[in-house]
Amino acid sequence: MSADIIQAMDLQKHFDGGDIKALNGVNASVKKGEVVVVIGPSGSGKSTFLRCLNLLEVPTGGKVLFEGVDITDKKADINLHRQKMGMVFQHFNLFPHMTILRNMTLAPMKLLKKSQADAEAKAKALLERVGLSDRANAYPSQLSGGQKQRIAIVRALCMDPEVMLFDEPTSALDPEMVGEVLEVMKELAKEGMTMVVVTHEMGFAREMADRVIFMAEGKIVEEGAPEEIFTAPRQPRTQDFLAKVL
């Protein structure tokens, strides 16, 4: 496995003047090409951790290195680094007044200075790939939840990211739509995309993760290969959590 692409060092995130410690000294790293899945109970700090990796949440303390650059440093060009980190949220965040094609080409044209022809060619190829090439001129309101989330994933891919961050991408979907979104994520993983995924989908974690991180109360309690975590967790807190969800 290659070098670390992301390193989180002693990450702290406090709310309410320090009363709530959403993150309490998190140390983690992600290697290039690795799929890391973060699991844990609600309120354990999983999403906060993920959002600190591209500074959507600014940590109270600690630092994040991306490709060796401290992006928490005030002098770092965070927008430049964010372009290399695709992010997919629970709620699709598509612009409702724009067609799917326009949703997908806006950022590459504006930020990567791609020509309209190049941006549209890439967007159409990605739509084809997720089976939605016939929806290019539709509007988000005309799509199902599963279709919107697949669009959100390929919209992020239009920026040629080096890392994809997923924040509970299936939790807002009807159960029958979950599979179609996980399928796209599995394809990405197989192609070697570096991914950090916060999810409640234990089947995905077990099948696709190179490493599983279990968080509780703002800390990493345990991490390891999926078979270690799911079949022989060492920590009582992990055992207790998995007994409830598996």
Give pLDDT tens digits for 34-63. 999 999 999 999 999 999 999 999 999 999
Q: What is the DSSP letter of 227?
A: H
Whether the CB-CB separation of 139 and 151 falls below 8 Å is answered with no
How large is the average pLDDT for residues 126-149? 95
pLDDT band at 19 (very low <50, low <70, confident <90, very high): confident
Nearest to 43 by CA among 7, 17, 72, 13: 13
Query: Per residue in 156-187, pLDDT tens?
Result: 999 999 999 999 999 989 988 999 999 999 99
In the chain, the largest separation of any two C-alpha atoms, in whole Å, equals: 55
| 164 three-class SS | strand
pLDDT band at 2 (very low <50, low <70, confident <90, very high): low
211 φψ region: left (φ > 0), alpha (ψ -120 to 50), beta (else)? beta
Q: Tell me the whole-structure pTM to 2 decimals.
A: 0.94
The tokens for 25 are 């000294």
Determine the pLDDT at residue 242.
Answer: 96
Instruction: Give the list of residues 6+ apart from residue 180 with CB closer than 8 angstroms, or none.
Output: 146, 150
CA distances 133 to 101, 111, 124, 137, Å, are: 10, 24, 6, 9
Determine the pLDDT at residue 20.
Answer: 81
Query: Per residue in 210-222, pLDDT tens?
Result: 999 999 999 999 9
